[in-house]
Amino acid sequence: MTNILSITLPIFLLIGVGYLAAYFRLVSPTDIASIGRFVLYFPMPALIIVAFQSHPIGQILNWSYLIAYGGGSIASFWLTTLCGRYVLKKDFSTSAIYGMGTSVSNSAYIGYPVVSAIIGPLGAICMALNFLVENIIIIPMSLMLADAGSEKSARLSGIIRQILSRLIQNPIIIGIVLGLAISLSGVVLPGPVEKALTLLSAVASPTALFVIGGSLVGLRLKGMRGDISLVFIFKLVVHPLMAFVSIMVFVPTIEPEFAIGAILFASVPMMSIYPIFAEAYQLGQRAAAAVFVATMLSFFTIPVAVTMVHALFPLG
């Protein structure tokens, strides 16, 4: 247990620092947003490029990992969507947005610090593959189903164009493309460039955790416990369970490091921009409340997940 806390406690201490800084107004919400954009546009792409340069292309495009994490994410999405529609009796649009919340992880800001502490640099590879799954499969599927469910199917072509435009401009996706190009070409970055990218990537995790803490200040549940319970329970419990099932059924020979990465990334709270997507369907407050509760509960659930993956997939 002491070893588990040595991994997870520093992560939540940094989240706490961000929360206290925002709570006592040492930084404003505008500052937090600006720092978040900095992390998204500079350290995270640098982190991916550095990781891709130091690993062979066969290890980067790990199909077993894509099946494990992608299969778990798709299963979690559909289980949540169907449960929201037929158990909670929500409309299909609302159910699809709930499904998004349980199948997209905060890979960059919370998942990577946890996973990299256990499997090292491979954590960056897993994170990049997560972005591919979420940006190419889960988010487009969620938005198109939500749009169809809200009787806006005439806008589907516009939604598709917006999704493609967002993918092209996404700094994480740009980092993945550059990293893949460098790995495929065999180009060796000049020493000063590689050093600069390494220095920049080093601030990704602590700064991201600070942002998560600061963004939690001011969020309130406001009587939405019934709806958001489905989202945060399925995200913290069902998503990692589905990743494990996907591994056992489809890729039982997956390397232990990638199995650990898939399950742990699935076990962290939903991505912090989830409420932005939900706001377009008048579900922004519920989504923000779900992020708040899931992040708080993850202080207890992530150590449990770490303990379980160590037992299931022991590293040599």
Q: Once rounded to an integer, what is the mean pLDDT over residues 250-273? A: 94
The reported pLDDT for the residue numbered 27 is: 94
Q: Which of 141-150, 251-260, 278-287 has the highest mean pLDDT?
A: 251-260
Q: How far apart are CA 247 and CA 243, in angstroms?
A: 6
209/137: higher pLDDT: 137
How many Cβ atoms are within 10 Å of 67's Cβ, its own excluded?
A: 18
Tokens representing 29 are 């919400």
The reported pLDDT for the residue numbered 238 is: 97
Q: What is the DSSP letter of 189?
A: P
The reported pLDDT for the residue numbered 159 is: 64
Q: Which of 55-59, 112-116, 262-266 has the highest mean pLDDT?
A: 262-266
Tokens representing 10 are 């520093």
Q: Which residues are CB-contacts of 250 (< 8 A; sequence separation ≥ 6)?
A: 67, 68, 71
Least confident of 85-99, 156-170, 204-218, 240-254: 156-170
Provide the CA 179 distance to its chain's centre, in angstroms: 19
Instruction: With cut-offs at 50, 70 and 90, classify the pLDDT of residue 129.
Output: very high
Provide the total of helices (H) and of strands (E) in the chain, helices listed first.
18, 0
The percent of residues above 90 in pLDDT, for the chain, comes to 40
Q: How far apart are CA 197 and CA 83, in angstroms?
A: 44
Summarised one tens digit per residue, pLDDT across range 144-203 is 888 776 655 555 566 677 767 766 777 877 888 888 888 788 788 888 999 999 999 888
Q: Once rounded to an integer, what is the mean pLDDT over residues 232-244? A: 97
Phi/psi for 270 (5° steps) reads: -70, 160
Q: Once rounded to an integer, what is the mean pLDDT over residues 235-257? A: 97
* 3-state SS class at 217: coil
User: Residue 14 belongs to what domain range?
Assistant: 2-312
The reported pLDDT for the residue numbered 235 is: 97
CATH number of the domain at 252, please.
1.20.1530.20
Q: Once rounded to an integer, what is the mean pLDDT over residues 19-45? A: 89
Per-residue burial over 99-123, b = 16 or more CB atoms within 10 Å of its CB, e = otherwise: bbbbbbbbbbbbbbbbbbbbbeebb
Helix (H) or strand (E) holding 293: helix 284-312
The reported pLDDT for the residue numbered 152 is: 53
282: left (phi over 0), alpha (psi -120 to 50) or beta: left
The reported pLDDT for the residue numbered 108 is: 81
The reported pLDDT for the residue numbered 156 is: 58
The reported pLDDT for the residue numbered 244 is: 98
Q: How far apart are CA 151 and CA 124, in angstroms?
A: 39
Q: Once rounded to an integer, what is the mean pLDDT over residues 2-12? A: 72
Tokens representing 180 are 């893949």
Tokens representing 21 are 């800084």
Are residues 68 and 312 in contact, defined by beta-carbon separation less than 8 angstroms? no
289/310: higher pLDDT: 310
- Give Cα separations from 39 to 177, 200, 218 (angstroms): 18, 9, 22
**Statement: residue 9 has pLDDT above 90:** no
The reported pLDDT for the residue numbered 121 is: 87
| Residue the block writes with tokens 């549940």 | 221
The reported pLDDT for the residue numbered 211 is: 84
Q: How many structural domains does the chain have? A: 1
Measured distance between the N- and C-terminal CA atoms of the chain, rounded to whole angstroms: 19
The reported pLDDT for the residue numbered 210 is: 87
